[in-house]
Chains A and B, each alone.
Chain A
């Protein structure tokens, strides 16, 4: 659901007045709005642009220039895959692939039921625990594909999108 009505933008008004519509404070304003609303709805960006007296494209330009900002609502559980050097070398891509496969979405996407969203982030600075995944601000170290299943299970996602072959417990079937 797109936040658009004047009611949904109340937090934006509050944030704008706290920063006294200061153009220089555009980035903190956008950060606060995103923290409150989870993302930057178009209506909020337009409202901010009017308040600080810049063309809306300026605000949109900022929101798309910086990696931190998102233009779509996040999932209830935000999954961020670290793609720092150390993580990449020991399987960050594999972890990302595993999440994509399990959730059946790509990076920067949210599952249709809005429960999970997936994104890649630059180094979170926990290189000694590589590969690292950040689940709702909590850092998880040494994430293998098996651990990916475990993490999703903890978050309440049971079973695979494709039903796993029940015979696999006895060693699988010859195709």
Chain B
């Protein structure tokens, strides 16, 4: 029997087994509980317990699965109920009362309780599917399609959907063909910089040294981004399959998945997945009886943002401090242990199996000419439908924020969208029609980044945002380059002074000069991009800086030193005491006329009274500059 047929037969055997199991699962009622970190934080564990309790109480033959994240994080805890004869239906904001209702009416009875449903998963005549909503129209799920549907701890569920099929196909072909396919698809690195993955693979393959390593970068350090976490928690086998294919392409025998320590659940699930893949013969000696051997292990990062930079990441794996080094030599020439090393992001590896399965032309049919395929974003901040979205490249920011994300909640005004984390920038309304791809975003002063997108409204101060990112990069600077180490510190001091109303207009020029110097004088991406948040806010929101400096006003009323809290007597009610009880420092007192007022000397500006003041009064307001208070009090 030829090796090629043997690989095919081995895989077919695995697949058949998995499909039989899947058919049995389809024949019964199944509850899928979104149990990624975000779901668990919203209370998924309690929901699961409640379901199990109700089911055993009623002795129903129902299977409960812990799945990953469907991407509709705003509606967590989220469950999907599938029953033979009904389409799969997703329910959001599930609490214990709803659990009881669903078990009683839908699992015991035949009423799917559509009034509580978010959407159906399969097309049907009764209830709209996710595709029927605006978000579904724009979304195109290539790598996140199975997230939230399959059980990440059951390799068979991944196999049943055709998983590891691409690997079986690849193992029957010469490695160079795989590289050609990925290069032809023009898959660009999803870690942020957008370097063509195929070219990297080829560079690595050209090395004379035969001992090679493959590393997956899951050190997702950008604050505001959680795509990699979600993928690894929801569908770890996709990334693993992509890595095995990559390893075959460059003929590596050992690989590592570098996951940051802050993601314990992702680490746990990837380890489970690796063990299952080994048991099935998909990892280890002679994968699928092909003669090709490869193994993978998890390396747990230690919480240093700079380790997202590839040379720093490799150093930390070697037991050193994560300090970036000069490149060239590139990692493809001299990486882990000085050997040729292929390092790609989690998402990049996740795109590999679908590209192999459907071909490079299918992939190039999506997105834009220079950036084909889709992009996975975590959409968070002041947007109605926060979550994880996958859209074709070339979708505009406006579509992403207003159609997919459902716009700004609470009737507020859009102000900016922060893209690319600490290396990216804040883009204003006027930049919303930029199509999302590597090159267009770069022109606007931001970067594609790894995919974190934070939406901001009137209540968010752009100077405070810039200061926040500088504080972050300043803390995370490894200290190697003087400009990065001291320059960011100096910029942070200037920004802090502005936020406190102590800045002067000259400091805006100093900020710009420093920004240019830091960019020019830093070795790695951290330093080279650290000034971006300041530069973009200065470019698009200069008037906010000026208001802080000239008038001591924080227009967004966010900077604590430039605001005071005030209770409007005209709106306050004698019958209500909520704010008094909510104040953690007893700063609110009852005046002689029964209305409430704030003792400014005690107030710590915790925002609690404003949040708790009942909606029918809304008597608590913020004033900026603080001098306004005297004006108002003097009036009476």
Query: In the complex, what distance in Å separates the CA atom of A165 from the CA atom of B586?
Result: 8
Residue among B264, B320, B577, B607 with most chain A CB within 10 A: B320
Is A129 part of the contact surface with B, judged by Cβ < 8 Å? yes
Q: For the complex, give the distance between the alpha carbons of A146 and B590 in Å.
A: 20
Verify A140–B41 contact, CB threshold 8 A: yes
CB neighbours of B161 from chain A (8 A): none
Given A68-B303, A122-B303, A125-B226, A139:B37 Cβ within 8 A: yes
Binary flags per residue of A18-40, CB closer than 8 Å to B gives 1, else 0: 00000111111011000000000
Cα(A141)–Cα(B632), bound, Å: 37
Interface pair B38/A86, CB less than 8 Å apart: no
Cβ of B319 under 8 Å from chain A: yes
User: CA–CA, A100 to B320, complex, Å?
Assistant: 34
A28 nearest CB neighbor, chain B only:
B300
**Contact between B381 and A61, CB atoms less than 8 A apart:** no
Instruction: Please tell me the number of chain B residues within 8 Å of chain A, measured between CB atoms.
Output: 72
Asked if A83 contacts B592 (CB within 8 A), the reply is no
Set of chain B residues within 8 Å of A153, measured between Cβ atoms: none
- B599: A residues at CB distance < 8 A: 175
Minimal beta-carbon separation of A160 from chain B (angstroms): 8
**Is A10 an interface residue when CB atoms closer than 8 A count as contact?**
no
Question: Is B585 within 8 A of A101, CB to CB?
Answer: yes
Q: A27-B319, A126-B226, A128-B74 are in contact. Are A101 and B604 (CB under 8 A)?
A: yes
Query: How many residue pairs between the two chains, A and B, have CB atoms under 8 Å in the bound complex?
Result: 175
Min CB distance B336 to A, Å, is 10
Residues of B close to A87: CB separation below 8 A: 223
Contact residues on A (Cβ < 8 Å of other chain), bracket = 35 or more
User: Of A27, A31, A86, A94, which is within 8 A of B607 by CB?
Assistant: A94
A173 CB → nearest B CB, Å: 6
Within B441-480, the residues touching A (CB, 8 Å) are: 452, 454, 456, 460, 465, 468-469, 472, 478
Known contacts A86-B224, A94-B607, A67 near B380 by CB under 8 Å: no
A127 lies within 8 A of chain B by Cβ: yes
Known: A67-B303, A125-B37, A139-B41. A171 touches B607 (CB 8 A): no
Known A122-B221, A126-B37, A172-B589; contact A141-B580, beta-carbon cutoff 8 A: no
Residue in chain B with minimal CB distance to A91:
B607
Residue A121, interface by CB 8 Å: yes
Q: Are B319 and A23 in contact (CB under 8 A)?
A: yes
B10 contacts partner chain A, Cβ-Cβ < 8 Å: no
Q: Is A97 an interface residue when CB atoms closer than 8 A count as contact?
A: yes
The answer to whether A2 has its CB under 8 Å from any CB of chain B is: no
Structural contact, A145 and B608, CB atoms closer than 8 A: yes
B73 touches A137 (CB 8 A): no
Given A66-B304, A101-B584, A127-B386, the answer on whether A83 and B321 have CB atoms closer than 8 Å is: no
The answer to whether A89 touches B321, judged by C-beta atoms less than 8 angstroms apart, is: no
A98 CB within 8 Å of chain B:
yes
Whether A132 sits at the interface, judged by CB under 8 Å, is yes
- Check B263 for interface membership: any CB of A closer than 8 A: yes
Whether A171 contacts B319 by the Cβ 8 Å rule is no
Interface residues of B in 553-607 (CB under 8 A from A): 577, 580-582, 584-586, 588-592, 594, 596, 599, 604, 606-607
Q: Are A174 and B591 in contact (CB under 8 A)?
A: yes
Q: Does B124 contact A (CB under 8 A)?
A: no
Of the candidates B262, B460, B469, the one whose C-beta lies within 8 Å of that of A122 is B262
Q: Are A126 and B319 in contact (CB under 8 A)?
A: no
Q: How far is the CA of A130 from the CA of B74 in the complex (A)?
A: 11
Q: Are B319 and A26 in contact (CB under 8 A)?
A: yes
Q: A85-B421, A146-B608 are in contact. Are A126 and B590 (CB under 8 A)?
A: no
| Interface flags, B220-263, vs A, CB<8A=1, else 0 | 11111110011000000000000000000000000000000111
- CB-CB < 8 A to A168: which residues of B? 580-581, 586
Verify B468–A85 contact, CB threshold 8 A.
yes
**0/1 interface trace, chain B 4-47, chain A, CB 8 Å (1 if under):** 00000000000000000000000000000000011011100000
Q: Is B387 an interface residue (CB 8 A)?
A: yes
Whether B516 sits at the interface, judged by CB under 8 Å, is no
For A84, give its contact among B40, B224, B302, B321 (CB under 8 Å). Answer: B224
Contact yes or no, B380 A130, CB < 8 A = yes
B300–A128 touching, CB < 8 Å: no
Write out the residue numbers on chain B whose beta carbons fall within 8 Å of the beta carbon of A132.
Answer: 41
* Residues of chain B within 8 A of A141, CB atoms compared: 41-42
A122→B465 CA distance, assembly (Å): 15
What is the CA–CA distance of A43 and B569 in the complex, to the nearest angstrom?
Answer: 62
- Shortest beta-carbon distance from B299 to chain A in Å: 8
Tell me the minimal C-beta distance from B608 to chain A in angstroms: 4
Task: Given A174-B591, A174-B592, decide whether A123 and B584 contact each other with a Cβ distance below 8 A.
Answer: no
CB of B579 to closest CB in A, whole Å:
10
Q: Once bound together, how far apart are the Cα atoms of A122 and B581, in whole Å? A: 32
Cβ proximity bits A156-175 to B, threshold 8 Å, 1 near / 0 not: 00001000110011011111
Question: Quick check: is A102 within 8 A (CB to CB) of the other chain?
Answer: yes
A171 touches B577 (CB 8 A): yes
- Is B226's CB under 8 angstroms from A127's CB? yes
Residues 329-352 of B contacting A (Cβ, < 8 Å): none
Nearest CB of B to A61, in Å:
6
Q: How far is the CA of A83 from the CA of B469 in the complex (A)?
A: 11
**Contact call A128/B76, Cβ cutoff below 8 A:** yes
In the assembly, what is the distance between CA of A59 and CA of B211, in Å? 29
Docked pose: A67 CA to B319 CA in angstroms: 15
Q: A69 contacts B421, CB within 8 Å? A: no
Known interface pairs A139-B40, A165-B586, A175-B599; A123-B606 also in contact (CB < 8 Å): no
Kindly supply a per-residue 1/0 record for chain A positions 120-152, scoring 1 wherever the CB is within 8 Å of any chain B CB and 0 otherwise: 011111111110100001011100111011000
CA distance A97 to B604 in the complex (A): 9
- CB-CB contacts of B42-56 with A at 8 A, as 1s and 0s? 100000000000000
Q: Mark interface residues in B465-498 (1 if CB within 8 Å of A CB, else 0).
A: 1001100100000100000000000000000000
Q: Given A27-B302, A61-B321, list of 9 further CB < 8 A pairs?
A: A66-B316, A66-B322, A83-B223, A87-B223, A125-B263, A140-B41, A146-B612, A168-B580, A174-B592
Q: Can you name 18 A-B residue pairings with CB atoms under 8 Å?
A: A28-B299, A31-B300, A65-B321, A66-B302, A66-B303, A67-B303, A69-B302, A85-B223, A87-B223, A98-B584, A122-B221, A123-B222, A129-B76, A139-B41, A141-B41, A141-B42, A144-B611, A172-B588
Binding site for B on A (CB under 8 A): 23-28, 30-31, 61-62, 65-69, 83-89, 91, 94, 97-98, 101-102, 121-130, 132, 137, 139-141, 144-146, 148-149, 160, 164-165, 168-169, 171-175
